[in-house]
Structure formats: C-alpha cells, structure tokens
Amino acid sequence: MTPVIWGGLSSLSYGTADFIAAKTGRAMGASNVLFFVLPLGILGILVAWLFVDPVIVWETSLLWLVLLHGIGLAGKLQTLYVALARGPVSMVAPIVAAHPVLVLLLFALLGATPSALQWAGCAVTIVGAVMVAISSDQAETSAAAHQGLRLTIALSLVCALFYTLEVVSGQIAVATYGELPTALAGRILAWLILGGALLAMKGRPHAPRRLWLLLLIQGVLDGAGTIFLFAGSHGADAPITAVIAGTFGAVTAVLAWLFLKERIGPIQWAGIALIFVGVTMLSWPG
C-alpha cells in the first residue's frame, strides 16, 4: 500500500482509540484503562515484530534512551487519558496534536536546523492551539467551568511535553534498535511504570464486563496505529506517512463532535484547521 494509505490507517486507528479512551477513562479511571489496554498493544506489536524481522540489537550504552521513551509514553498516556476523560475531547485532541512544535524546538536545541517552512509551521500551529484553547474557554460561563477548562488545558500541555520526550528519545533510539523493538520496549516499560504506580497507590485493577469489548477495540486500535505508522515509514515517501498519521487529533475531535455532540464553534474549527496545516508544514523534512 502507499504511504498515504498507511498514514490514513494510522490516523484513524490512533484517533478512534483516543475517542474511545474518553468513555473508558470516565468509567474506569485512566490508570485502570491503561493497565488493560497497553498489554493488547504490546501483543500486537510483538506479533508484528516476530513476523517482520525479530532481530535483537545487544547495545547497552543507549538503553537510557529506551528508558526515556518508556517514561515519556507512560506520562503521555496517563495525562492524555485523564484530559480526555475530563473533556471536552474536541479541545484536548487538537492541543495534544500540536506537540510537533515542541519536537521541532527540542531538535533545534540539539543542533538540528529547521527549514523556513518548518518555522512557519511552528507559528501557524501555535496560533491554532491558542485559538482552540480560547474558544473553548469562552464557551463556558461559570467560574468553576473556566477553572476546570484551564486544568484540562494544562493537562493537555503536559501531555504534549511527555509526547515530545517520547518522540525525540524514540526517534534517536530507533536508529540503533529498530522501530518495532523500540516501540515494543517502550510500551512494556510504560505498562510496568503505570501498573506499578497503580499498585503502589493501593489501586486494584478492575474492568467492568460491559466495557471489555471497548477496551479490546481500544487496545487493538492503539497497537494498530503504531504498526501502520511503521509499515509506511520506509523509502523516500516515509515523511508522508508520518504527516498524515499526525492528523489523529482531527479524527478524535470530529468523532467527539459527531457522537458526543460537543459544541465546536467557528473559531475552534479554524484553530483545529490551523493546527493541522501547521503540523503538516513542520513535519515536512527541510
């Protein structure tokens, strides 16, 4: 299949999984959801790795990058699922999807030289994210609602920071360990971190039977999003896959608008559009 199709499948998978996470997170709590969902993604990536090329690279000097990748993934998923459960989903998803701005800035600090198009994309994305946050805040009138939205926005921004840590450490580690092994190790570490935190807080993992099917679908889609992304990440057209996969936040926002009946005003729609135009610009290679 073409990079466009792989990227589209990845975007649909990630975006739908995040949409489902809003429902399961509200019903069970983020930690409980992740305790059950992450193993499904781990299993899917493990099967894909064994099917494609099960090679283990015995290099210990860069394992700290894999550790950072797992920490970033754990922090991203925890804050994302909490933010999605708080809602509105149509605000959280676009703000989190603006994380490539932070990725670009961190790579610039590490010595990379972004192109003029990428810097322009950075500015466009920031403007879009501000528009989404402001328009969502203005949709509520009570002081308590404003305070709740500000906390959700803060969680979304923290999630974007963890996302940046996950992406940058993962991309550097992939050069040594490979794509699927890095993704597999990161998810295993994230599950151990989040599961350990849940048990340390004397939480008891539990999943209501009525949510088993949703959790299964969510876990399969989360793992599939990664597999589709990596499947299209080869050859000269690989950036196209990454750019299209990065639109997952739009999928989540549209699903929230269609099925949760969340109100999205003209300014917020314009902000969402700017975010994904900007992400496309700054995700393109210089």
In this prediction, residues 102-112 reach a mean pLDDT of: 86
Side-chain half-sphere of 167: how many Cα atoms within 13 Å? 22
Cis peptide leading into residue 88 (ω within 30°): yes
pLDDT at 64: 95
Compute, in degrees rounded to 10, the torsion defined by CA atoms 195, 198, 200, 204. Answer: -110
Model confidence, pTM: 0.88
Whether the pLDDT of residue 225 is over 80: the answer is yes
Residue pair 248/97 in contact (Cβ under 8 Å)? The answer is yes
d(CA 263, CA 246): 23
Q: Where are the alpha helices (H) located in 53-142, listed in sequence order?
A: 63-86, 89-97, 100-109, 116-138
Q: Nearest to residue 77, comparing CAs of 162, 164, 2?
A: 162
- With a CB cutoff of 8 Å and minimum separation 6, the contacts of 162 are 72, 73, 74, 75, 76, 79
In this prediction, residues 177-186 reach a mean pLDDT of: 89
d(CA 84, CA 25): 8
- With a CB cutoff of 8 Å and minimum separation 6, the contacts of 223 are 40, 41, 42, 43, 44, 45
pLDDT at 81: 93
d(CA 70, CA 39): 14
pLDDT at 113: 85
What secondary structure letter does DSSP report for 56? -
Q: Which two tokens stand for residue 68?
A: 């950072």
Q: What are phi and psi of 207, to 5 degrees?
A: -135, 115
pLDDT at 145: 60
Whether the pLDDT of residue 139 is over 70: the answer is no
Confidence bin at 221 (pLDDT 50/70/90):
very high
